[in-house]
Amino acid sequence: MEKMVVHAKAEELESVNAFIQKHLEQSGCPVKVQMQVALAVEEIFVNISSYAYHPKTGEAEICVDVDGDPSTVTIRFMDQGYPFNPLEKPDTDTTLSAEKRGVGGLGILLVKKTMDHVAYTYEDGRNILTITKEIN
C-alpha cells in the first residue's frame, strides 16, 4: 500500500488524482473505471477539504493499493477533522423534480453508485473512509 499526505485543500485534488491514476494505469485498469475512480476520489477529497477541518485546515492521508484476483483497487482516505460519517445520511431522492432538488448529497451518491464497496470508521481520532472497486 502506497501512501500520500497532503493539505486537505481542493487545490491538491489534481496531485491526489495523479497519484491514484498512476497505480490504476500500471494495473491495466480500463479508462472507464479510471474515470469512475477519479470521480469518487474528487467527491471524497473535496468533501474532506471543505468540511473536515472547517474553518481551519489540516492534512489528509490517502493510501492506494491494487491487489487480488480479480484485480481490485482499494483507496483509503484519513483525516483528523470532526467525526463525520458521510454514509449515515439518507440518499438523495433522485426521482424529485428539478424544483424540489437540493444541491447536497449528489457527490456521496455517485461514490456509492460507482464503487463496489464504501466503508466508514472512526478510529483513534481519525475519520477513515475506504472505497474498493474491481478494475478488471
Partner 1 sequence: MTITKNKEGTRMTLALEGRLDTTTAPQLEAEVKTSLYDVTELVLDLEMLEYISSAGLRVILAAQKQMNKQNSPMVVMNANETVMEVFELTGFTDILTIQ
Binding site for partner 1 (CB under 8 A): 10, 13, 32, 35, 38-39, 42-43, 46, 92, 94-99, 101, 103, 106-107, 109-110, 113-114
Query: Measuring CA to CA, how many Å separate 121 from each of 71, 84, 94, 124?
Result: 24, 9, 27, 10
Alpha carbons 67 and 91: distance in angstroms, whole number: 30
Nearest approach, Cβ of 71 to partner 1 (angstroms)?
Answer: 21
Give yes or no for a contact between 32 and 8, defined as CB atoms under 8 angstroms apart: no
Nearest approach, Cβ of 8 to partner 1 (angstroms)?
Answer: 13
Sequence-ordered list of residues with C-beta below 8 angstroms from that of 37, at least 6 positions apart, any chain:
20, 21, 24, 29, 73, 75, 115, 133
Cβ distance to partner 1 smaller for residue 3 or 54: 54
Cβ distance to partner 1 smaller for residue 65 or 109: 109
Nearest approach, Cβ of 106 to partner 1 (angstroms)?
Answer: 4
Cβ distance to partner 1 smaller for residue 58 or 105: 105
